[in-house]
Amino acid sequence: MMIVDLIDGDDFRDRLVSLGISLPEGASPDACARMAQLMHAEVGVPGLQALVRELGEQTDIMLPSVRSALERFLLPVLR
């Protein structure tokens, strides 16, 4: 039996923080995605497009709240 780690809100936040985006502890996926979107629009975020592409390929192991935030806030501005 194979166990798969789901991409949850904490994982999503951690991945964005690793790109240099300052996010409050416990921020919701929506808040994280909105802040990432704003920072990207203001100054750019190196690696954000690659991260969004990678996450977009893993929607089957992503919690619905993270998938929704990704689709609503980041995919439209990075396509």
> Is 1 a domain residue?
no
pLDDT at 1: 61
pLDDT at 39: 97
C-beta separation of 45 from 39 below 8 A: yes
Per this entry, what is the length of the chain?
79
Predicted model pTM: 0.91
Within a 13 Å sphere around the CA of 42, how many CA atoms are in the beta-carbon half? 7
Banded pLDDT at 5 (limits 50, 70, 90): confident
Cα–Cα distance measured from residue 33 to residue 77, given in angstroms and rounded to the nearest whole number: 11
Count of domains observed in the chain: 1
pLDDT at 4: 67
The string of pLDDT tens digits covering residues 9-61 is: 999 999 999 999 999 999 999 999 999 999 999 999 999 999 999 999 998 99
> Is 67 a domain residue?
yes
Domain boundaries, position 18? 9-78
> Is 3 a domain residue?
no
Cα–Cα distance measured from residue 57 to residue 51, given in angstroms and rounded to the nearest whole number: 10
- Over range 64-70, report the average pLDDT: 97
